[in-house]
Structure 1
Amino acid sequence: MTPLVLDTTAIKRATTPERVLTTVRDALIAHAHGRTTVPPPLHLQFPDADGDCHVKVGWVTDTPDFTVKIATGFYRNPAAGLPTNHGLVCVVSARTGQIRAILDDQGLLTAWRTAAAGALATHAMARPDAATLAVFGTGEQARLQVEWLAKLRPIDTVLVHGRSQDKTGSLCEAFNALGLDARPAMADEAAAADMVITTTPATGPVLQAGDVRAGAHVTGIGTDMPHKNELPPALFARAALIATDDHQQCLDHGDFGHAVRAGATTDTSDTPVGLLLERPVERPDDAITVADLTGVGALDAALASAVLAELAP
């Protein structure tokens, strides 16, 4: 059987943000209940090129396909006019072992499932009346996190903190064009928002724990390799509720793991984020909540299968 090769045009035609959100939500819940198979991811670093690569495998129990995904991030690419992220997803039959399709998605499905997971976790864990959102980072993922969270709840103000003044201004203009009230902010002001999402490849904390206000929620999505770190351990010490997308991954190379090794929290203090998506989260109005998301292969499998079902039923 010759596998299909599908490009980004076909993939975009096959789905919508709403379908991605539903698929990722269901996959996170399945993962929280142990209905997935997710081996540890493989990581490669390319220091001379400021790049990294993840290889992730995942399967949702009793579904017809599993996936093997390659996702790369080379952070000097924009200076050369190239996208930061690339990748592809190989969809394999879980019944025959035959390769059904190659999704030449250029990293698109990774970006979508990351945006969906971050938006879902932030919406579920933030106060119902939380309306001020801060995003750290100015790349594609920063844009997607804000846009997709805005599909789930009203957002009054968007604060953008980035290293580049030009990129920060451009992202604010893009948000304003969508009807969101966005403006640049310093790190301490951004950290004091009702909701905070960090979307950077940073190797050290991008905010100070003391700047996060009581009642706030923080989602970190950039720490997907052992050398990366966005959230300070002291923030986890202040948190009344900590959620992880995958307990073992977050211990190994997430911000949660950094906090555990620093003695700021224990290795049993987290709750699977999928469980928090099933029912309203009980939280005092003055509690700080934190989500650490490292990216789960089962989400890639679920989303790739959903796309393929539309294109090759």
Structure 2
Amino acid sequence: MTVPVLGPAEIEAAARPGLVLDAVRAALIAHAAGRTTVPPPTHLNFPAADGDCHVKTGWIDGSDDFTVKIASGFYRNPLRGEPVNHGLVCVISAHTGRVRAVLDDGGRLTAWRTAAAGALAGHALARHDARSVGVFGTGEQARLQVRWLAMLRPVGPVLVHGRDERRAAAFCDHLAGHGLSAAPAPAAEAAGADIVVTATPAVAPVLDADAVRPGTHVTAVGADMPHKNELPPALFARAGVIATDDHEQCLHHGDLAHAVRAGAVPRDADVPLGALLLTPPDRTDTAVTIADLTGVGALDAAVASAVVRELLR
């Protein structure tokens, strides 16, 4: 039997934001409850090319499928006129082991499930009246984080901090095209927003802990390998709630890992994000909250399976 290869156009048509958000939310809750199988991811690093690659797999108990995903990020690609992210997802029957479909998504499903997880975390952990958003990073994922969060709650203004002023301005124009008010901002101003999102490949903290105001929520999505780091350990020491998508992964290669190694917080300082989606934390208006997201294979499995159901039914 020929295995169907589903291309980007088909996948984009099927992967509606509501479908992705529902799949990611259910997968995070299942993962928090211990109802998933998620082996440690494999990482490849290509320093000479400023690139990296992740191989992740996962299964949710009782699901018809499991997945194996290859996702790469090569950060000089825009200079060549190419996207930063590439990849594919292989969807395999959990009953027979037969490959059901290959999703040639070019990294889109990874980008969308990351955006969905960040949006769900920000909506659940931020104050009810939080509106302003500070964004560190000007790439595709930074844009998606803001746009998907805006699907769940009112957002604005958006303060964009990036190393390249032209890219920051282009980012603001992009958000304006989606009805969001945005302006470039220095790091201290962006860090002072109600909700702060970091979506960079940084290897050292991109914001100052003292610039983050009481009551702020911070979502970090960039530290997905051991050498990467976006948040300073001192910020974790201030946090009233620390949520992680996967405890062990975040202890190995998330921002939490750097905070634990620095002695800022103990190893068990975090709470599963999925548990907080079911029962939001009882936070005060002055508490700093953090979501450290490293990407979980069970989320990839949930989203890819949902897309395959849409396309092959």
TM-score interval, smaller chain = over 0.9
2:242 corresponding residue in structure 1:
242
Tell me the CA shift for residue 234 of structure 1: 0.4
1:290 corresponding residue in structure 2:
290
1:68 aligns to 2:62 (yes or no): no
- Aligned counterparts, 1:88-237, within 5 A: 88-237=88-237
1:29 corresponding residue in structure 2:
29
1:306 corresponding residue in structure 2:
306
Tell me the CA shift for residue 156 of structure 1: 2.5
2:39 corresponding residue in structure 1:
39
For residue 223 of structure 2, what is the amino acid of its counterpart?
A: T
Give the secondary structure class of the aligned counterpart of 1:29.
Answer: helix
Tell me the CA shift for residue 180 of structure 1: 1.2
Q: Distance in 1 between matches of 2:108 and 2:312?
A: 19
For residue 304 of structure 1, what is the amino acid of its counterpart?
A: A
Tell me the CA shift for residue 281 of structure 1: 2.5
Tell me the CA shift for residue 233 of structure 1: 0.4
2:271 corresponding residue in structure 1:
271
1:281 corresponding residue in structure 2:
281
Q: Distance in 2 between matches of 1:262 and 1:136?
A: 23
For residue 245 of structure 1, what is the amino acid of its counterpart?
A: D
- Aligned counterparts, 1:255-266, within 5 A: 255-266=255-266
1:53 corresponding residue in structure 2:
53
For residue 191 of structure 1, what is the amino acid of its counterpart?
A: A
Tell me the CA shift for residue 127 of structure 1: 0.3
Tell me the CA shift for residue 34 of structure 1: 0.4
For residue 172 of structure 1, what is the amino acid of its counterpart?
A: C
Give the secondary structure class of the aligned counterpart of 1:280.
Answer: coil
Gaps of 5+ in 1: none
Q: Distance in 2 between matches of 1:280 and 1:235?
A: 21
TM-score normalised according to structure 2 size: 0.99
Tell me the CA shift for residue 219 of structure 1: 0.5
Q: RMSD between aligned alpha carbons? A: 0.6
1:10 corresponding residue in structure 2:
10
Q: Which runs of 4+ in 1 moved over 3 A?
A: none
Tell me the CA shift for residue 15 of structure 1: 2.4
Give the secondary structure class of the aligned counterpart of 1:151.
Answer: helix
1:86 aligns to 2:86 (yes or no): yes
For residue 76 of structure 2, what is the amino acid of its counterpart?
A: R
Tell me the CA shift for residue 14 of structure 1: 1.1
Tell me the CA shift for residue 280 of structure 1: 2.9
Q: Distance in 2 between matches of 1:189 and 1:11?
A: 38
Q: Distance in 1 between matches of 2:174 and 2:279?
A: 33
Q: Distance in 1 between matches of 2:97 and 2:156?
A: 49
Q: Deviations over 1:105-144 (max 9, x none)?
A: 0000000000000000011000000010011100110110
Aligned length: 313
For residue 17 of structure 1, what is the amino acid of its counterpart?
A: P
Q: Distance in 2 between matches of 1:256 and 1:304?
A: 28
For residue 160 of structure 1, what is the amino acid of its counterpart?
A: V
Q: Percent identity?
A: 65
Q: Distance in 2 between matches of 1:13 and 1:178?
A: 19
For residue 75 of structure 2, what is the amino acid of its counterpart?
A: Y
Q: Distance in 1 between matches of 2:35 and 2:288?
A: 30
Tell me the CA shift for residue 217 of structure 1: 0.4
Q: Distance in 2 between matches of 1:293 and 1:312?
A: 31
Q: Distance in 2 between matches of 1:216 and 1:166?
A: 28
Q: Distance in 2 between matches of 1:3 and 1:248?
A: 34
Q: Deviations over 1:139-173 (max 9, x none)?
A: 11011000010010001210000111111001101
Q: Deviations over 1:25-68 (max 9, x none)?
A: 01000000001000000000011100000000000100010000
Q: Deviations over 1:218-249 (max 9, x none)?
A: 00000000010000000000001000000000
Tell me the CA shift for residue 255 of structure 1: 0.3
Give the secondary structure class of the aligned counterpart of 2:128.
Answer: coil
Tell me the CA shift for residue 176 of structure 1: 1.5
Tell me the CA shift for residue 175 of structure 1: 1.0
